[in-house]
């Protein structure tokens, strides 16, 4: 039995140069989810600035209006069945360009309710970040 080895050039690949995964990862499709189904929210960046005379932390705020997709997890979702999310838990999904604003401790205002960001993780496909998930809990401003 004889084995032959051939080096393939880029012209010999059978996959298209622009795959579906490439479209998702570059943001052209994933950003469309936020654009088409997202809602307008206010995100409040919280900055700790020091302490007052009583030793309490003081904060300053910067508010920005931005679009996010709101997802509430339901008992029928696989992620709830697997224990990744809790039934009724809310996650705001942002485009990557919102990255500097989406941080743990910042707050989101939507439909007369304040939410505090408790954790942030990225949706990753083929080793590329393409959306940001912000887990939140309701809070009193």
CATH number, domain with residue 114: 2.40.10
100 lies in a domain? yes
- Comparison of pLDDT for 87 and 5, the residue scoring more: 87
Entry pTM: 0.73
CB 117 within 8 A of CB 108: yes
- Comparison of pLDDT for 114 and 125, the residue scoring more: 114
Share of the chain above pLDDT 70, in %: 79
Beta bridge partners of 108: 43, 115
What integer pLDDT is reported at residue 7 of this predicted model?
52
25 lies in a domain? no
Answer yes or no: is pLDDT of 10 > 90. no
55 lies in a domain? no
88 lies in a domain? yes
70 lies in a domain? yes
**What band does 13 get if pLDDT is binned at 50, 70 and 90?**
very low
């Amino acid at each position: 039995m004889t084995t032959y080895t051939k080096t393939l050039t880029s012209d010999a690949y059978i996959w298209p140069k622009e795959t579906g995964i490439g479209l998702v990862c570059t943001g052209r499709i994933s950003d469309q989810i936020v654009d088409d189904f997202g809602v307008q929210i206010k995100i409040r960046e919280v900055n700790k600035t020091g302490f007052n005379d009583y030793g309490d932390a003081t904060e300053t705020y910067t508010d920005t209006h931005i679009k996010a997709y709101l997802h509430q997890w339901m008992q029928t979702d696989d992620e709830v069945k697997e224990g990744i999310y809790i039934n009724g838990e809310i996650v705001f999904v942002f485009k990557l360009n919102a990255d500097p604003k989406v941080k743990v401790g910042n707050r989101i205002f939507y439909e007369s309710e304040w939410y505090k960001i408790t954790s942030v993780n990225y949706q990753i496909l083929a080793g590329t970040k393409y959306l940001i998930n912000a887990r939140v809990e309701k809070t009193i401003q």
